[in-house]
Amino acid sequence: MVKKFPNDFWWGAASSGPQSEGRFNKKHSSNFDYLYDTRPELFYDNVGPNTASNFYNSFREDIKLLKDIGFNSARTSIQWARLIDDFETATLDPDGVRFYNDVIDEYIKQGIRPVIALNHFDLPVELEHKYGGWLSKHVIELYVKFARKAFELYSARVVDWFTFNEPIVVAECGYLYQYHYPMIVDGKKAMQAAFNIQVASAKAIEAFRKYNENPAGKIGIVLNLTPPYPASTIEWDMLASFHANLFKNRMFLDPSVLGEYPKELLSILENDGVIWDASNDEYQVIKENTVDYLGVNFYHPFRVKSPEISADALATDWMPHRYYDHYEMPGRRMNMDRGWEIYPQALYDIGINIKENYGNIPWFVSENGIGISREERWTDEQGVVHDNYRIQFVTEHLYHLHEAIEAGSNCFGYHMWTPIDCWSWCNAYKNRYGFIATDIRTQIKTIKKSGHWFKTVAETNNLNVPKDISDKFVK
């Protein structure tokens, strides 16, 4: 079976500044740089962000490799701590300006559309220490100054902008689950950070409308949408699923696209005493500055059941998951290396949800992928990784994405995570996601079998779905 995608469909992959560039010539440290400098033992094999995949030094060769595997678009992020010299005044770091200039020019020269995010989990650590990071209203203003500088410098050449990547991860991992610096557990702070980032996103969009120099320019936000699937249709599981959707998806999706928070979410936060400090002006800015389009990161579904522990337990930290528990569905299909369920059908559900509940706003898959350990297991004598599992993973996801497009969902592209194996935060280089392998000792980069396969899909807009896959899914 062959699935035909639209002619102008975006084909490519996403990475980010902190995960690919390395810290070369970056005067300031971001939160993850600081965490590595102070607690290297938290990182897999003690590998930090210092070299990453060396994009700072090898971006021309790297971008050429992306061209070699058929990309017409690619996302990366501008690091605040690299572009800006003085955060208060947003004066520029000349080498940072030059670097992103050269990167953007190189993408365009190679015929690849640069898609730029302004934040990918990174925050200059001095803003954390001085002001409390995303808990501070002042930091919102500093972020907007940085965003404005980026628009003034690059919007004549960059059409596609995104304010934040997965903002919920910043709030959850920094203030609830202790995966990101400042690694604290405080529900009220988590909700405040989530709200402040939403305001920052809206204010950056407002600045974009003023300072963007490109009539074709568009701005959006990248959200990790994780559809909740209830363990059963019993009322309490259904309620848990409704709540999981509020916290995991709608907390950013509704204000970003519709300009308003779900009233059920506000009333829960109010009742639980964890509602954010917000002004009417801030709600107004959110209302008036919704996105032009959406990036959707999708890795795994979220199966939920009613919570095991009563919300009335004593001396517990406030956690959103007092309203739902993770349900370990027997027989689920797993990527064991990352511990994530594989459920490509969710891409169809995401597409239909956007169509039916979010005005069918244009969107693209901004990340999707499979992180596998010890990929050298599948390397041949020429050094090529035969990652058939990745080809199957992407084929299955594209199959269901295509179904959503056929059902009228307004999806305009598919980006995999990631083009070239890159540094994965605390997991460092444990799991590899790329179409292109990186040897982290030599920085030699080699296209995997999946990269060669992707080139054909991207260049023809045709997805060949083998019978064993289509047989599984055809309704």
- Report the interface residues with ligand BG6, using CB under 6 A: 16, 19, 165-166, 224, 297, 338, 367, 371, 417, 424-425, 427, 431
Q: Which position among 21, 166, 282, 375 bears the catalytic label?
A: 166
Which helix H or strand E contains 437, and what residues bound it?
strand 436-438
CB-wise, 224 or 306, nearer to ligand BG6?
224
Q: Is 106 a catalytic residue?
A: no
CB of 461 to ligand BG6, least distance (A): 26
* DSSP secondary structure letter of residue 383: S
By beta-carbon proximity to ligand BG6, the closer residue of 165 and 289 is 165
C-beta closer to ligand BG6: residue 117 or 465? 117
Q: How far, in whole angstroms, is CA 125 from its chain's centroid?
A: 21
Min separation Cβ 124 and ligand BG6, Å: 18
Q: Is the CB of 23 or the CB of 338 nearer to ligand BG6? A: 338
Which value, to the nearest 10 degrees, does the dihedral of the CA atoms of residues 278, 279, 282, 286 take? 70
Closer Cβ to ligand BG6, 197 or 463, answer by number: 197
Edge-first strand order for the sheet with 302-305 is 228-230, 302-305, 325-326
Lookup: tokens for 112 = 């690849």
CB of 19 to ligand BG6, least distance (A): 6
Taking CB positions, which residue lies at the least distance from ligand BG6? 424
The DSSP symbol for 133 reads G
- Say whether 365 sits in a helix, a strand or coil: strand
The answer to whether residues 345 and 402 touch, using CB atoms and an 8 Å cutoff, is no
Judge contact between 228 and 324, C-beta under 8 A: yes
Q: Structure tokens of 124?
A: 């200059």
367 belongs to the catalytic site: yes
CB of 219 to ligand BG6, least distance (A): 18
Q: How far is the CB of 375 from ligand BG6 (least distance, A)?
A: 14
Shortest CB 417 distance to ligand BG6, Å: 5
Strand 84-86 with 91-92, pairing: antiparallel
Minimum CB distance to ligand BG6 smaller for 212 or for 438 = 438
CA nearest neighbour of 398 among 453, 447, 336, 328: 453
User: Closer CB to ligand BG6, residue 338 or residue 445?
Assistant: 338
Question: Among the options 21, 282, 341, 367, which is catalytic?
Answer: 367
Residues in CB range of 395: below 8 A, 6 or more apart: 463, 465, 466, 469
| Least separation in angstroms between CB 164 and ligand BG6 | 10
* 208, containing H or E segment: helix 187-211
Q: Is residue 348 within 8 Å of 397, Cβ to Cβ?
A: no
* Closest to 374 measured CA to CA, from 20, 12, 44, 43: 44
Residue type, 424: S
Q: Which residues are identified as catalytic?
A: 166, 367
